[in-house]
Structures are given as structure tokens and as C-alpha cells.
Amino acid sequence: MSELFGRIDGASMGKGGSMHMYKAENHFYGGCGIVGAQTALGAGLGFAHKYRNDGSIAMTLYVMWWGLFRLWGVGGHGVHPAFCCGVVLGCVVVYAHMLFIS
């Protein structure tokens, strides 16, 4: 809650807000303010786990609101290349995609 309220004792010292909470020592790499960019972050983290051979996996959640996609055409930028990169490189990553329709 400290991060959400902009307090210095927050995970990112109050600078991140709800989209940018981050705490590397707990293996929590937060979200991203750019639509779809968290899928590439997940692929990169999955590759890091594979490279280090540490037995961990990366999980990434991609949520899209259908109304936003219809209005501005956003939602697919960088998502499919990140999926393909994860497959080609053999990354240990689980992608969860949620679609909200309004």
C-alpha cells in the first residue's frame, strides 16, 4: 500500500504507482504502463531462468479490455513477437491472457 500512496517505504520508493510496483528480492517485477509490454518482460525473465538453470519459471499476465481495443486499436503491439520469441528460445514462461468485453 505504501507504493500506491507514494510513500518512501514503498517497493519502488513511492515512484512507481500501481503499474510499476517492483521488488527484485521477492522476484516480483511488476507491470508495465505500455500495453502488451509485460509479455516481452515475461519472455526475458523466462529466458533468464533458462540461462541460469535455476529451476524457476516466469509468469506473465496480459489483460485487455475489448472496448479499448475497438476505440484505439491497441492491444496487440509486441504481444505475438514476445510469444514467438519465448517459443523459439525455449523460455520457461507461462502466459495468461484475459479479455474483458464491454
What is the pLDDT at residue 94? 87
pTM, entire model? 0.68
Answer yes or no: are the C-beta atoms of 75 and 36 closer than 8 Å: yes
Answer yes or no: are the C-beta atoms of 33 and 27 closer than 8 Å: no
d(CA 82, CA 42): 8
pLDDT in tens, 13-38: 777 666 667 777 888 887 776 767 77
Answer yes or no: are the C-beta atoms of 100 and 66 closer than 8 Å: yes
Answer yes or no: are the C-beta atoms of 31 and 3 closer than 8 Å: no
The CA distances from residue 9 to 13, 62, 96, 98, in Å, are: 6, 28, 30, 32
